[in-house]
């Protein structure tokens, strides 16, 4: 059990270990566990960034680079995307994924921490984070850092698992998420811990309205969210 005195540090170490272990199967399992919905979710979230061709975007906790690739599709060969993650194995996987696209010269990979971004204020046109806000040591500090490095008028966008509200759908979803996801993840990845962590991380994660309030609390304007696929995921948007 994590103890309150070193919870943040312990969580960060634990999350690093998890993603180090599953990096090689992460994309496959995302597709399987989301029933191939994850690609559409990322496309929708990328559309909320208000990026333009030739723009300059940031993807925080980039994982295997799939959200950064969606940004690169928008900015094109004249634009720039910076993709940051703290896990070496995930960055290695991202490099492999990106090298299979036309965007190797567009996307720059950086090792760093979401709660202390190594960029000056106002460096980017927008900042995104996908399926990682649950995993950071401080949700509020991560959002605050994303806001800091985005230019005035730019967007901060989070794509994250959320809590559906419709009673019957909610019951069916939580049965799948709490029982089948860990079993499927264990079968395909060969390790059990990471996919037991997944449902537990959502239980502790604030409701989407609370995340919207955090966007507002750090000073983002017009903070709002879109629930996708019955509220399985939410896309939060705020303007610097």
Tens of pLDDT, residue by residue over 40-75, are 999 999 999 999 999 999 999 999 999 999 999 999
Q: Which CATH architecture does the domain made up of 4-163+207-239 adopt?
A: 3-Layer(aba) Sandwich (3.40)
- pLDDT at residue 182, rounded to an integer: 67
Residue 193 pLDDT class (50, 70, 90 cuts): low
Give the pLDDT confidence score for residue 197 in this predicted structure: 66
pTM for this entry = 0.86
In the Cβ-directed half-sphere of 16, how many Cα atoms lie within 13 Å? Answer: 15
Under DSSP, is residue 218 helix (H, G, I), strand (E, B) or coil? coil
Task: Please tell me the distance from the alpha carbon of residue 133 to that of residue 140, in angstroms, as a whole number.
Answer: 9
At 97 the pLDDT is 96
Classify residue 57 by burial, with Cβ atoms within 10 Å: 0-12, 13-18, 19+. Answer: buried
115: Cα separation from own chain's centroid: 14
pLDDT for 185: 59
Indicate the range of 66-70, 134-138, 143-147 predicted with least confidence.
Answer: 134-138
pLDDT bin (cut points 50, 70, 90) of residue 170 is confident
Helical segments of 66-153, H only: 66-75, 88-99, 139-148
Measured between alpha carbons, how far is 99 from 101 in angstroms, rounded to an integer? 5
The CA distance from 206 to 108, in Å, is 31
Cα separation, 125 vs 140, whole angstroms: 20
Contacts of 118 (CB under 8 A, 6+ apart): 84, 110, 112
Share of the chain above pLDDT 90, in %: 67
Q: Is the four-CA dihedral 214, 215, 216, 217 of positive or negative sign?
A: positive
Q: Which of 203, 209, 233 is nearest to 223 (CA)?
A: 209
- Distance, CA of 142 to CA of 137 (rounded, Å): 8
In this predicted model, which residue has the larger pLDDT, 180 or 227? Answer: 227
Token representation of residue 94: 């991202």
pLDDT score at 209: 97
221-228 contacts, C-beta under 8 A, 24 or more apart: 226/44, 226/48, 227/162, 227/164, 228/41, 228/44
Cα–Cα distance measured from residue 195 to residue 218, given in angstroms and rounded to the nearest whole number = 31
- 136: pLDDT strictly greater than 80: yes
């Amino acid at each position: 059990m994590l103890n309150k005195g070193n919870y943040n540090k312990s969580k960060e170490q634990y999350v690093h270990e998890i993603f180090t272990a599953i990096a090689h199967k992460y994309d496959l399992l995302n597709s399987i566990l989301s029933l191939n919905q994850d690609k559409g979710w990322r496309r929708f979230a990328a559309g909320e960034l208000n990026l333009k061709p030739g723009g300059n975007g940031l993807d925080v906790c980039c994982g295997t680079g799939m959200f950064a690739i969606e940004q690169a599709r928008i900015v094109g060969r004249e634009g720039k995307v910076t993709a940051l993650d703290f896990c070496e194995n995930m960055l290695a996987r991202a490099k492999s994924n990106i090298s299979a696209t036309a965007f190797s010269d567009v996307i720059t990979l950086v090792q760093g921490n979401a709660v202390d971004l190594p960029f000056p204020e106002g460096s980017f046109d927008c900042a995104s984070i996908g399926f990682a806000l649950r995993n950071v040591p401080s949700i509020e500090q991560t959002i605050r850092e994303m806001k800091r490095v985005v230019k005035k008028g730019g967007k901060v966008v989070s794509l994250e698992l959320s809590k559906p509200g419709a009673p019957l759908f909610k019951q069916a979803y939580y049965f799948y998420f709490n029982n089948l996801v860990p079993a499927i993840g264990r079968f395909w990845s060969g390790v059990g811990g990471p996919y037991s962590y997944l449902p537990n991380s959502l239980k502790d994660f604030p409701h989407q309205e609370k995340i919207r309030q955090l966007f507002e609390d750090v000073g983002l304007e017009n903070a709002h969210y879109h629930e996708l696929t019955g509220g399985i995921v939410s896309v939060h948007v705020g303007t610097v």
